[in-house]
Structure 1
Amino acid sequence: MKIDWEALGSVFGVSLVGTVFLVGLFALGVIGLTKQDAAAANGGSAPLARTGAYACFTLCTLAVAYGIYLIIT
């Protein structure tokens, strides 16, 4: 039995980058919603923060759906 260390390292690297990207994107979405809530509490409005947050959540959903698609096919 021989282990292809280069392929294993490649899979590890792509998984690490993808995970950091998705967690960062989700965190940006949560921050955007928090900014929108803080602006609403102060009597203001932050439609850009809400739109950005929803965009981040949508991208996270699409990335997860694509990963599930890759697993299934």
Structure 2
Amino acid sequence: MHIDWAALGSVFGVSLVVTVALVGLFTLGIVGLTKRESAGAQGGSTALAVTTAYACFAACAAAVGYGIYLIVA
């Protein structure tokens, strides 16, 4: 049996980078929603925080959907 270590390392590296990016995007979405609550309590504008949060959540959903598409196809 022959193991292609370069391919295994490549898959590991890409998986690690994508996982960190998705967690970062989701975290930014949560921070955006938190800023909305604090800005609303202080009487400030919440449009930018909400838009950023929803964009981050949409990017996460798109990445997960693309991953499912790659597995199924």
* TM-score, normalised via structure 2 length: 0.97
Matched, 1:31 2:28: no
Q: How many residues align?
A: 73
Q: 1:27-66 alignment to 2 at 5 Å?
A: 27-66=27-66
Match of 2:68 in 1: 68
The list of structure 1 runs, each at least 4 consecutive aligned residues, that deviate by more than 2 angstroms after superposition, is: none
CA root-mean-square deviation: 0.6
CA distance in structure 1 between the aligned counterparts of 2:55 and 2:37, rounded to whole angstroms: 17
* TM-score, normalised via structure 1 length: 0.97
> How far has the Cα of 1:62 moved from its partner?
0.3
Q: Secondary structure at the match of 2:45?
A: coil
> How far has the Cα of 1:38 moved from its partner?
0.4
Question: Letter of the aligned partner of 1:62 in structure 2?
Answer: A
Percentage of identical aligned residues: 68
Question: Letter of the aligned partner of 1:38 in structure 2?
Answer: S
Q: Which runs of 5+ in 2 are unaligned?
A: none
